[in-house]
Structure 1
């Protein structure tokens, strides 16, 4: 028989229970506090009547609409948000069926197949050390291979066997990969930039923009979101010397510019820019947006094309610039007194789309010479392959040009 310590006959918790049981019977002595307060002229209120009585809650009038029942209303003329004029709503999960050409006609934008000279010079003069490259490579490996957070991935489909059901896979989602890489690239940009510039920057996350405008006589409203939004104390200087720009807008005949944008009679016309006017960081600088095939789809259920992905980046930049213009000059502004320049970077795992948008006018119906400009480059690959090879993590063909352009966008003023 193994010897053990002698257990106490009474548990410590039992003593506390007995103590509370004894003390709860003790009568509370009257300290005559109420009489002293009344003698001093202070009002005394009975706490039982004050806290135990149920207050009377006024009932709302019957004509008020219950907001929980809005989704159950019939989508007809009796709906409170019904409008006789049709509005074409375009959100984050939509793409234009004609890609960049339709986006140019819709926003009256001329295309320039290169970035402005200031950004090109900044990208060439960037000096990146080996330590910085090692940090970026480690960030890529962590985002794709080492992250322990696992979620259910998208359902796989085989076009040749549409009825075949693949087993659900767990792994790192595209949204999480994009978010982690952008965070780390911005962190390296802050380290490589002087404090005089970083003090003028601020990063916002998951901000929304809503802009209604008219194009070719149609009312259109954009609802866009930027996962990372870089704001600045000063606006980016407008681009003056514009060369190699297209001379005319594309011709979509016989299609209209609002094709594949769903019309809607139930809507609210809103003007939303997330930063209030007159704040310290009110000017838009650079937007980092995500593209995930799971969320962004064609209205025709066909695979999204490369032109449609590029047009999505352009429309994001236009929405941000237009929202800022309506915030500064009013909702009915047409020709802007001063151009608004916005930089936009779209990320799809290892593909980076860099672009700069300059908004000159919101008068998209008139046939005047004043147009907007979109500067862009072909998508840049951050790497070609990142996977396990014989149980070892391998990163192939890392491209430091992505970090150079991201740093050039961050430092541009």
Structure 2
């Protein structure tokens, strides 16, 4: 009986202790959590007493605890670019108070084609020019056996060189473009004028223009350019050019025309088309633009078409200033530049005719842009069929092949050679 009473008393006595211990632990942890972290200790500045010289261990070359710490000058490795530190922007030679806005190949215009048309003071015409349409419909300029050759080019780029389900876009997109250009180059024997062209990879461009008291630039390294010995002939006649005076540019309100452009204060108003003097192929023909394969820089189709307009316009402006002078406003002869953009499946075709460089206001003659976008070369490509519930969703191989898209590609390549 005594043992049972003792056990009961111990357990009864131990229970409040356990509760008190738990409450104490909670209170200690709560108090620790409420305890503020002390701020980092600031480095004290050495005390300087006028008339007294501090004795340091600098001459000894090693640490001495009873001597003061010396103040060594900051080490600067000027000969090594890795450790170079640029001066503040205000101290640079090219610093200007007025900011400038730069378009480079990594820019993605939020306004798309509408913003590019406002920046370039251009009028948009849906479809390709009549001259290129005539080349695509004329049986005399038909590409022989093009359906089988283009089908094999797509298979080579997407299927034949991989053992997986499908290749990455950064692999098949440039390979498909190079294969199509190689097919076009094989017709040089039938059209000797095609031999008067060359391709420039990583084409560099730098130009500028003034619009509404704002300075805009187009700079950067572009993917591929085809240049020729002779320029492209104008596509719009003089009455059509004069008719563009009645066109009104669309407003971007409430967006700023310079949205997504790089704002800088250190810049140089330089005009460089990327060719040295005496280059035998000085005239721009077609700029080939591929969608960035990096997911962080991926463009929507409308943004890719805007990029085509900006790069082609920059090249035309640079060429016009080289031919007619830096201060030219009314061009004696229009300049035509073509552009083809693709993401490996969709193709966009664009032709720009530069009629004027009087971009200070939105009145007067406008430049002209012909655009034929969202032209699919095929629908799907799959290494093996995709089946769900016994229904083939995606067949194996190439499905939905559209050879008429290559016909437009070939017509733009052939323009200026016949």
TM-score, normalised to structure 1's length? 0.71
Per-residue CA distance 1:199-230 (angstroms, 9 max, x = gap): 22212211111111111111111114432211
Indicate the residue corresponding to 1:190 in structure 2: 185
Aligned to 1:265: 265
2:340 corresponds in structure 1 to: 345
Q: Are residues 277 and 372 of structure 1, via their aligned partners in 2, closer, same or farther at CA, if it must alter by over 3 Å? A: farther
Aligned partners of 1:140 and 1:181 also within 8 Å: yes
**Unaligned ranges ≥5, structure 1:** 1-64, 151-169, 298-302
| CA contact 2:208–2:269 (8 Å) conserved in 1 | yes
Contact 1:189–1:406, Cα closer than 8 Å, also in 2 = no
Structure of larger gyration radius: 2
Relative distance call for 1:394 and 1:257 in structure 2 (3 A) is: same
Q: TM-score, normalised by structure 2?
A: 0.71
Alpha-carbon distance, 1:304 to partner: 4.4
Residue in structure 2 matched with residue 218 of structure 1 by the alignment? 214
Cα offset, 1:412, TM superposition: 0.8
Tell me if the contact between 1:289 and 1:346 (Cα under 8 Å) persists in the aligned partners: yes
Do the aligned partners of residues 100 and 268 (structure 1) sit closer, same or farther apart at CA in structure 2, a change above 3 Å counting? same
Q: What's the secondary structure of 2:89's corresponding residue? A: coil
Query: After superposition, where does 1:285-324 map in structure 2 within 5 Å?
Result: 285-292=285-292, 294=294, 297=297, 304-324=299-319
Cα–Cα, structure 1 residues 70 and 319, in superposed 2: closer, same or farther, change >3 Å?
farther
Q: Structure 1 residues 190 and 100, CA, compared in 2 at 3 Å: closer, same or farther?
A: same
Trace 1:25-44 onto structure 2 (pairs within 5 A).
Answer: none
Structure 1 Cα separation of the partners of residues 327 and 79 of structure 2:
33
Higher helix share: 2
Unaligned 5+ residue runs, structure 2? Answer: 1-77, 387-394
- What is the CA distance between 1:149 and its match in structure 2? 11
Shift of 1:192: 3.2
Tell me the distance in 2 between the aligned counterparts of 1:133 and 1:66.
Answer: 58
What does 1:6-155 align with in structure 2 at a 5 Å threshold?
68=81, 72-125=85-138, 126-130=141-145, 132-147=146-161
1:373 is displaced (CA, Å) by 0.6
**Greater mean deviation of Cα atoms: 176-185 or 273-282:** 273-282
Question: Is residue 388 of structure 1 aligned with residue 399 of structure 2?
Answer: no
Q: Is the 8 A contact 1:277 1:327 kept in 2?
A: no
User: Aligned residue for 1:361?
Assistant: 356
How many residues end up aligned between the 2 structures? Answer: 324
Q: SS of the counterpart of 1:72?
A: coil
The answer to whether residue 344 in structure 2 is matched with residue 329 in structure 1 is: no
Q: Aligned pair in 2 of structure 1 residues 195, 109: CA closer, same or farther (>3 Å)?
A: same
